[in-house]
Structure 1
């Protein structure tokens, strides 16, 4: 038996992948594992910069990094180029890191837990003779789609670039909303070249699916029963992955503004509209203006996260007529703490899976405004299958108007059925954080395998 396994955690280099894998790392740490968290050099610098001591030394998790092959000023939002560079650079660098840890620090890695989108890492695990496991950071339903991509190509549903041959929606199951491949996560990256490269990268990563018996995911059986029934011996739900309120975050790319919590303390119960669109969403100035004036038009208190990213050229200006008396704007919020605050009434979200899980875990209904990738499917699942949210309608120019924003906020907050359904789902998610739940049993079995 290995009494204290040392686990190397390898996320895809994006905030929405780093966050749940950091939460998983803390959970493994609580169960007696040593954790080494591997960011790209670029993201590692952002993470340590966002921490209180600016060097990462206060984290109980060892933070290390390897290069992604791109220069410091390269636009990593261009995922096609990022994926190409990852495959060229990171496998050899990861192998070298494992060797250096043992030679220079006497640390022997016993297992790699890799993001499915870093599937090549399990080839390195096999090469150096250690265990390997996969982690899926999105919905189980989207994993089933990705896992079956080679079969969809063989069956003539997709071509080799991931483009849908048939225009009919793809139904994985009668209880999972039909998927238009044109709005699937690899087909909604705003650049056909990037979409092709991303699809080929993902198919390449799935090539290593036979190298492990463990596919962990941040979901629960009751949230996506149909998806899990389609992969009963493959996916192991261990969600919801929520770190304790006392746990200091060590995975954020921007420093969290905790002052918003004292502002929330001053707001009435179930009154605040929380607005946050993740780490990638970009608006043009017209839409940004409508959003600002729409929030003001609701005549409700609002907490709005407007990302302050020095590397982004997409700088928006608040309109002159915006007063903001009832709201607070922040650069980056401690979202898990915000969503657990009793003042929060609803969550206007880009529908990233982490945000959905955090919102549902606190019984917060959602107003869905997806931007790209899997967020479009997630929006449909939240609204049509789970029935805990609503979407916005855009006009003929593709603009969500200020009047539409006010109308949907009012409609959602007056809908007792949505709130009741949200609370029922919250109870199911909370149950899965307790001993004896399906998620707890799956994690225990994984830890037994890990330590064996």
Structure 2
């Protein structure tokens, strides 16, 4: 029976889909060891209870960071390379060591680890193939790109013509790690080396599906020079499966039955769900614009936000909107909410997990990307697939106009909007992919190849 070592990045957008992948691998008879810190063990408990004999943990402590000037994000990621020795020691002492390591794309250094151990290296991308291609292109040519960007020219456009559909992005939308890259800095160079190593890996697993990104998956195979590119998503718990979606990713600050009771009282597709992920905290100005729009419009809504300092929900807001709104301050079971019949649209930061959850739930997306891969995901949703509409995009000082946003919230629930019709069709395609379709075929192909090693 094949044994795999899985190494997820700790962020919720990374570890949650990796654990969903783990569930599928365990169901197909593989033995899995997952590298986690002790604080993340509770996230594994559902898998451990279902597969006690086949899921194991490699518990490690967060390596200490000794950053060089101006490169702490790189140093933090590079510090994980200190686990090289402990993993080698564990591997050689194991009676049935793994035949491959499946690691998050941020841990490209594990390619060298796999080579040292004589096992396969598989990249796991929690984001889509479109964004992955963009990142490959930008990291490959980062020195040339930075030479061409004039100091302070935030609107300098990058044209990535070798990628299908020739995406173009202004410099301010490029992820922070790329913007912070400094030629010659040891931490920057070490991290870039790992990202480039991903491009020579034995295989790559995407949390995506053929019907969503076929053109980019095909291009990825050409880019990698082989067909070991598997799209196995959307990696989500089944609606009535063994894994309880209410606890996926953490404990809800509001009991799910309370949310469901509130939603049960609403007509079908009459509620807008608003959430910006687990990390985003709106600026005071953004918060003001958003709640202003919610007071102006006449739709039901669930507003899920993190509060911090001055960025808090204004006093009296909940009283003014009454039962029309449900406000949550903290983590909620997002997938369970989106799957409820009463939810019709989703204001989202366009993180990939949220993107897939919105697609599979068949709700129109109102996009508000702020950082990282979110801008690329919004382009995919709005410009290429036509299943979303832009609300806003950018950092803390970029604001939607409250009157326009209020109108868009109301229009998003109209049954005849073309975006709603398209998302319903794509949702069905996603469901077919994971039942007995392309994603099942790809997952089986991956497992068959691994089992023959």
The number of aligned residues is 428
Distance 1:126 1:216 in 2: 19
Deviation at residue 83 of structure 1 after TM alignment = 3.2
1:232 corresponds, among 221, 224, 239, to 221
CA contact (8 A) 1:176 1:381 kept: no
Deviations 1:171-215 (A, max 9, x none): 3446354233441234687x788xx99975652223323653211
RMSD between aligned alpha carbons? 3.6
Partner residue, 2:16: 19
**Cα offset, 1:140, TM superposition:** 0.8
Kept in 2, the 8 Å contact 1:66–1:94? The answer is no
Question: Structure 1 421/394 Cα, relative in aligned 2: closer, same or farther at 3 Å?
Answer: closer
* Cα contact 2:139–2:195 (8 A) shared by 1: no
Check conservation: 2:368, 2:392, Cα contact below 8 A: no
Aligned-partner SS, 2:434 = coil
Partner Cα separation in structure 1 for residue 119 and residue 149 of structure 2: 33
Equivalent position of 1:438 in the other structure? 438
Deviation at 1:340, TM superposition (A): 1.4
Question: Is the Cα–Cα contact under 8 Å of residues 112 and 133 in structure 1 kept in the other structure?
Answer: yes
> Which region of structure 1 is more displaced relative to structure 2, 345-354 or 142-151?
142-151
Q: 1:408 to 1:350 in 2, by over 3 A?
A: same
Q: Deviations over 1:44-97 (max 9, x none)?
A: 41x3467889xx9646443443233248xx9xxxx9524313323x23325414
**Shift, 1:287, TM fit:** 1.8
Name the CA distance, whole Å, in 1 between partners of 2:417 and 2:49.
Answer: 44
2:428 is matched with 427
The equivalent position to 2:83 in structure 1, one of 83, 93, 106, is 93
Q: Tell me, in whole angstroms, the C-alpha distance in 1 between the residues paired with 2:385 and 2:50.
A: 37
Partner of 1:262: helix, strand, or coil? helix
Contact 1:162 1:199 in 2 (8 A): no
Q: 1:450 deviation in Å?
A: 1.3
1:335 maps to which residue?
334
**SS of the residue 1:328 aligns to:** strand
Helix, strand or coil at the partner of 1:207: helix
The separation in 2 between residues aligned to 1:251 and 1:107, in whole angstroms, is: 30
CA distance in 1, matches of 2:168, 2:272: 30
Out of 308, 312, 319, which is 2:314 matched to? Answer: 319
* Structure with the bigger percentage of helix: 2
Alignment partners' CA distance in 2, 1:317 and 1:20: 30
Distance 1:271 1:373, change over 3 A: same
Which residue of the partner structure matches residue 180 of structure 1? 170
Residue pair 1:216, 1:236 contacting (<8 A) in 2 also: yes
How far 1:21 moved relative to its partner?
A: 0.9
Cα distance between partner residues in 2 of 1:111 and 1:256: 38
* Structure 2 match to 1:379: 378
CA distance in 1, matches of 2:135, 2:188: 9
2:126/2:352 contact within 8 Å kept: yes
Give the match's secondary structure for 1:224.
helix
Tell me the TM-score normalised to structure 1 length: 0.82
Query: Residue in 1 aligned with 2:238?
Result: 244
1:398 pairs with 2:387: no
Aligned-partner Cα distance in 2 for 1:141–1:341: 29
